[in-house]
A and B are shown apart, each in its own frame.
Chain A
Amino acid sequence: MSTTLRFFRFASPAAFYPLAGKLVPWFGAVAAILAAIGLYLGMLRAPTDATQGDAYRIIFIHVPAAWMSMLLYVVMAFWAAIGWAFNARLASIVARAIAPTGAMFTFLALWTGALWGKPTWGAWWVWDARLTSELILLFLYAGYIALVSAIDDTRRADRAGALLAVVGSVNVPIIYFSVIWWNTLHQGASVSVTTAPKMASVMLLAMLLMTLAFWAYAFAVIFVRTRAIALERDNHAAWANDSVARAPVRQGASS
């Protein structure tokens, strides 16, 4: 009698594929709604900053993008390690599905940071600890993507990628604590779990809503990519054929 939820059932691509398909629209909708509220509060309701003027409004995308870039790296390394240690195929697929989105958020953190640095510091870029370690994060994502796509044997590629991802994860705490460990131009954390936030509550609320929106967006995009990679790998499997048969692709839409 199995009345307990069997979560490990979803560790197989065949079971995860339909589940992820059901969740994607919900994550997409949550992302859109939260982003709309967050942008309304951040761009229209939040007051102008006393020292930085309206340039500070970049914070509502800069900080969420930077947080997601670090979080996604840790999640990617975690699932890559699980896929390696337990020979779990879906875990490796998820790791690979995370990498491009993580790289995109890393690029956005650097891009929005440059556009914020220019008016407030007078420089697009400085080689300080926070910026440099975030740039290394971008190289780690790029290295992971290049490595796994350079090895033809899929599972060997997964293992090699896992090694790179796990070793590279040492960089994440370096990014996070860089503003404490070194004397950097980058400002310290505006939000921390141990102290009161150093910003007005409407600003903080807008930033947290945007972070949740980016988080939901990442879930939606990564789940679609996970489904795509699962289908590509199990091209000849019965479950793949069944899922296509249940919901046929509209022919001619983009072919």
Chain B
Amino acid sequence: MNWNSAADFFAMGGYGTYVWGAYAVTLACMAVEPVLVAMRHRRARREIGGAPR
């Protein structure tokens, strides 16, 4: 283990802003996309048979 404490871990050796900035946006994108795509699928199922789009 490289880290002595949680604060040490979050500081990332002084590069915390860069590292967590990269990870936060990646996590946000990969959390939102599955939700959007599931919503699109649900809408497609509801509108089977010609219900208004």
Residues of A whose CB lies within 8 Å of any CB of B are 28, 43-48, 53-55, 57-58, 61-62, 65, 100-101, 104, 107-108, 111-112, 115-116, 118-119, 217, 220-221, 224-225, 227-229, 231-232, 235-236, 240-241, 243-244, 249, 253-255
A58's partner among B19, B38, B47 (CB-CB below 8 A) is: B19
CB-contact partner of A231 in B2, B25, B30, B41, under 8 A: B41
Give a binary string over B1-16; 1 marks a CB under 8 Å from any A CB, 0 the rest: 1110000010011110
B residues lining the A interface (CB < 8 Å): 1-3, 9, 12-15, 18-19, 21-23, 25-26, 29-30, 33-34, 37-50
Chain B residues within an 8 Å CB radius of A228: 37, 40-41, 43-44
Chain A residues with Cβ under 8 A from B49's Cβ?
235-236, 240-241
Of B39, B41, B43, B45, which is in contact with the most chain A CB atoms at under 10 Å from its CB? Answer: B41
Q: Is the interface of B mostly helix, strand, loop or mixed?
A: helix
Q: What residues of B have a CB within 8 angstroms of the CB of A107 in the complex? A: 29
Contacts A61-B26, A115-B18: A53 and B34 contacting too (C-beta < 8 A)? no
CB distance from A240 to the nearest CB of B (A): 5
